[in-house]
Amino acid sequence: MPARIRLQRRGKKNQAFYHIVVADGRAPRDGKFIEKLGTYNPNTKPADIVLDVDRSVQWLKNGATPSDTARRILSYKGVLLKRHLQIGVEKGAITQEQADVKFNQWLQEKEAKMHQVKSEDDAKKRETAKARMENEKKVNETKAAALAAKRQAAAEAEAARQAAENAEAAPEEVPAENAAEAPAAE
């Protein structure tokens, strides 16, 4: 029974979510499995990977072969490095403490890289949002200026209409001597 470490698809259409499992090589993709090692969500950036490293190393030690995608995920999470270091410990090339120090150092470097990638991504998102807000403010100012001009034009038209009505009504009420002065005052 050749054991394989592979992905088992879950999730909706166009929203894939995977379980990382150990299964018989002859079993169907989404069929029966021996043990679930973790999950993989490629929909997020960066992808979310939850993996039991120690159990994965144990399965590799027992002869399980990973699929191509599972191999990349195991490498990304450091399982293959830890297995490599364990082989060195078994052969006597290094001690267990040295292997643990090397693995922890690699994990810290990896976390620092991931933190930097996330912070750069967050900064890019903030810059995009800031630029979008500035563009929206410019558009709103343009709309407000156009609306103010329209209101001013409407007010001027109303004032002109009222002045015309007053001018028509003014000659009847104003005595003849003051008629010449009335239009100049308005």
Q: What is the mean pLDDT of residues 52-65?
A: 94
pLDDT digits (tens, 9 = 90+) for 19-38: 999 999 888 888 899 999 99
**Tens-place pLDDT, residues 39-50:** 999 998 888 999
Write out pLDDT tens, residues 97-114: 999 999 999 999 999 998
> Would you place residue 179 in the very low, low, confident or very high pLDDT band (cuts 50, 70, 90)?
low
Residue 99 CA: distances (Å) to CA of 76, 85, 107, 112, 113 = 18, 6, 12, 20, 21
Assign residue 53 the CATH number of its domain. Answer: 3.30.1320.10
Q: Residue 9 is inside which H or E element, if any?
A: strand 3-12
The domain containing residue 53 runs over which residues? Answer: 3-94
Within-domain flag for 128: no
Q: What is the pLDDT of residue 182?
A: 53
Distance, first Cα to last Cα, the chain: 105
Q: Among residues of the chain, what percentage have pLDDT more than 70?
A: 90
Residue 47 falls inside a structural domain: yes
